[in-house]
Structure 1
Amino acid sequence: MRSSGTAFAYNAVETSHKTVMRAKFRVLTLNMLKKLQSNRTALLLLALCLLFIYGCSTGPKRTDTPPAEKPIAAITDISPSDAAEKTRLAYAQFVDVRTTAEYKAGHADRAVNIPLDTLEQNLDRIEKNEPVYMICETGRRSREASEILARNGYTMIYNVTGGTAEWRSKGLPMK
């Protein structure tokens, strides 16, 4: 049997040893929790990054802009003198968009009459793959007619500036 002095010393050492062990256990537990916490943070960040990358790289691309409309062909303004020269060519088409009465009163040589208000119903009379020269009295209606042609796929469109009025004043051939 141990003496009471030895027992006290033994208990003191045992208590001291238990205290040290508890302290070490606390330190180890805190270190493990810190590592686990930092690993959780890293795993969470990694998971969020993967979700972001996956979300950005899959699925159909959506745009909020409407599809582009078909581009309108350029309409070239041309003087009556230049138009008279160009319309002498066999493949050139010359369209007078004035009313039938205006056309019968006098028109540019080689011009065919398709009044502006009937133009869309008569597009089949105008060849898409050939140059088209549009004329009216002053150039306003022929500009409008040129825009109709452009919207319908014509690409070689020439608007005679000044129209028949300027054509006449230049002394160009009339019928």
Structure 2
Amino acid sequence: MHFDNEKTLLVEVAQNNPAAFELLFKQYHNKVYSYSIKICQSALQAEEIVQDVFIKVWINRASLPNIENFGAYIRIMARNQVLQVLKRIALETRCHALMNQDWTEQQKETENYIYYNDTRKILDRALSTLPPQQRLIYNMCHLQGMKQQEVANQLHISRLTVKAHLRRAVQTVRSIVLVDSHILVAIILSQLFKK
């Protein structure tokens, strides 16, 4: 099918002539594709842009006879479609980054919570092995933050007795925590190397 000029071709497309639309598509397909691929750097996206542009041309075909310069018109349509695609890609990239960040933060919070609980269990187990007086003095000094003299006054014993009980308690707790923490470190390392 042959049309005398582009204006006649646009009129025929506006009158629902599929052969005229096919000819218009053939004339401008490569220009829209070349423009799109140059900016998007993706053949798949460039093809989608071509399809979207020509779908819009067909949907708005009634206005085609009013267009003075179809080449400029289709170039603007292609540019607008490319911009929409780039905005969508930027939004998707940002969403993926935010989801990954949230996931990583939640994962870290969960891991920190697990490590804290494991460490707390190790400490509680170590404290449970202490004789009652050592455990009481350890709790008062290390967990409640009391000074040795305050503990001595409250328990009605000498500060040197508090100091001796505290030293033995710390040694016992340290030795148990060290043994258990080696096991904990081994578990953590094995989990890291699985990833």
TM-score, normalization by structure 1: 0.31
Higher strand proportion, which one? Answer: 1
Higher-helix-fraction structure: 2
Which has the larger Rg?
A: 1
Answer 1 or 2: higher relative contact order, Cα 8 Å, separation at least 6: 1
